[in-house]
A and B are shown apart, each in its own frame.
Chain A
């Protein structure tokens, strides 16, 4: 199973095996990684699963879609590597993915 590493804002790392087809958001929520709220349940509608994708993985996670870009435009502390974790689908090619969490979801 692909492994995704979540780095909390304070630096704590969680390496989690996430089934292919699940979102990076679900991988965190189902495994109790703190710092991802996902209020809307994965509808790309709340921006409370905001993550920063490690630079080395940006090409493989792809670019955000239109709605995701709209939601990120409203977020606090968004950067060029910001994504909504509910919109990143886990594949074998993402085995080893590293994402960092912001200081809070909002």
Chain B
């Protein structure tokens, strides 16, 4: 995020009446200026009520410790899809597909357990050679000395290949996964390729049809080590309704795709904007282990998660009422100087780099967090073996979204190979 003290948007953020601050507006993220508003809210109104034209009234929670308090109190702050779910954007019931991220216990725990073996340490160790081979092939195919789009050629390609592996999805059709991910998170307001709600629904219907075919193949075959087979055979998920199947697919597609994709792009941008850190990394590639969590903190690829209060409760001195929407701005928590030292600096050798809130905390904490770290680790290890520098060659284009915090394009040039 822009944090320049003399940026004109910063003056605007501080001059505006507090009551008018609404950090849910997509352009604030697209223009990368939302950080100025978060800075003020953390200081002056850390639990802030706003009335959005689009979403109605909602609370913004911007300090790390308050976010932690909400995230760990799932008994009061519900994720349940039927009463609102996990993001500010709501659709009619018929277009909100239930998944375990948008459930409360005990159903959440049961369904989540069905997919946990995929991302458990032993399985990640088995996946690593595949991830590495694919990362190597992608990097070896990049042009040297000519500009290209990093998002398209690397971030999307690597994460999509990974996702195809996790689902054991037909490899030649893998870009469908990217497409469905964009459909799931997009909206006609300019965020991605969705042009109408009808289109979104129709495309997600195709997603369900495709995966239903895979499900039918696998439910009748012996259990295998892919996510579809796991869902088809686990007692808690094998009798899911089509809506619930689609909901969990969307969760796994978006969770395993957009997030890592945008961290891959955001990491390269951060290293370019902090050349001293890029230099430090080149001098000591072992720092990849602390670089990776710092990239995830810096990018915070999901800007927020939303909860709905199940009871009246006090938070940071404010009275939250039963039924209120409560938004945890992870992007702000990860810039909170009370929790993170020098949060506006990108520092690749922090003492406790994983003490960030990008994965959330509590029972909904990202199930794929170690897989995400593994993909980024392998990618950066292989980049450092190949290229002295990858240079961002122009302004990246950012997503117009208060949820998926990322990039749609980033022009880069690789001046030379090593050796």
Contact = CB atoms under 8 A, between A and B. Distances in A.
Contacts of A94: none
Contact of A39 (B105, B121, B355): B355
Interface string B61-85: 0000000100110100000000000
Contacts of B72: 43-45, 67
A77 interface: yes
A74 B367 CA distance: 9
Q: What interface size band does chain B fall in?
A: 20 to 34
Interface residues of A, number: 23
A74 B113 contact: yes
Contact of B117 (A67, A76, A104): A76
A43 B361 contact: yes
A76 B105 contact: no
Contacts of B71: 45
A88 interface: no
B230 to A, nearest CB: 13
A105 B122 CA distance: 10
Contacts of A43: 68, 72, 361
Contacts of B359: 39, 46
A45 B362 contact: yes
Contact of B363 (A40, A74, A104): A74
B120 A71 contact: no
Nearest to A71: B363
B127 interface: no
B112 interface: yes
A96 interface: no
Interface in B225-259: none
A95 interface: no
Interface in B352-408: 352, 354-355, 359, 361-363, 365, 367, 369-370
A69 B262 CA distance: 33
Contact of B354 (A37, A44, A67, A104): A37
B109 A77 contact: no
A45 B355 CA distance: 11
Nearest to B116: A76
Contacts of B119: 76, 106
A106 to B, nearest CB: 5
A74 B361 contact: no
A31 interface: no
Interface in A17-70: 37, 39-41, 43-48, 67, 70
B124 interface: yes
A50 to B, nearest CB: 11
A64 B361 CA distance: 18
Contacts of A92: none
B354 A39 contact: yes
Nearest to A41: B355
Nearest to B123: A76
B105 A45 contact: no
Contacts of A106: 119-121, 369-370
Contacts of B112: 74
A46 B72 CA distance: 10
Contacts of B352: 41
21 contacts: A39-B359, A41-B352, A45-B72, A67-B72, A70-B363, A71-B362, A73-B113, A73-B363, A74-B109, A74-B116, A74-B365, A74-B367, A76-B117, A76-B121, A103-B121, A103-B122, A104-B121, A104-B370, A105-B121, A106-B120, A106-B121
